Structure 1
């Protein structure tokens, strides 16, 4: 077993959000999952413009706050205690339009 804390990991070099990868491919040979956390301060948007897309399925769980997201052309709000799934290849973006930070645990899962 490997145990890591969020404090043990270095944040990615970004000015908009605090993004950390807890476990990635380096944690386990042939890993199909990357796990991390992200904190969206009020007003933060990812990506800053347009939409993002990646080859993995993206699972997220909102630990605190809420976030407005558009995925596959559909707008929805995901709030504390809720989970979301964005299928691989689906364009998406998210913005924290609230007054408090939004804290998320995320997983990228490779397609088999």
Structure 2
């Protein structure tokens, strides 16, 4: 078993994104698991759209976020979970007044 203390993982300076695990977890597949804190008015990626070769699973732990995917915009709040399929361009922006905390996993298919 691997255990990671979130408080001991160095975060990205602007978005506070942390990769907690990055392993070959399944036969031929991969998984990355982490957290991100979007401060008020923070956007990820900083410009343009993000695209992954893996499926992205996320759950909002605190606050809310606006996410653009496939030409649609979604307002997500604490307790909601999402799946963005591999290859689908997307972005997220915290238009709220409090931090938005998200736990995410990128799962690669074999």
Could you tell me the TM-score, scaled by structure 2's length?
Answer: 0.91
| Cα distance in 2, alignment partners of residues 98 and 59 from structure 1 | 22
| Cα distance in 1, alignment partners of residues 88 and 25 from structure 2 | 27
Task: Select the residue among 52, 60, 85 that pairs with 1:54.
Answer: 52
Q: Is the 8 A contact 1:45 1:94 kept in 2?
A: yes
Provide structure 2 residue ranges, at least 5 long, that are not aligned to the other structure.
Answer: none
- Which structure features the higher share of strand residues? 2
Structure 1 residues 66 and 55: alpha-carbon distance in aligned structure 2, compared to 1, 3 A threshold: same
Q: Structure 1 stretch 70-79 or stretch 26-35: which is displaced more?
A: 26-35
Point out 4+ residue stretches in structure 1 off by more than 2 angstroms: 25-31
Give the equivalent residue in structure 2 for 1:63. 61
RMSD: 1.9
CA offsets 1:30-51 (integer angstroms, 9 cap, x no match): 6621100000000001112211
Q: What SS does the corresponding residue of 1:16 show, helix, strand or coil?
A: coil
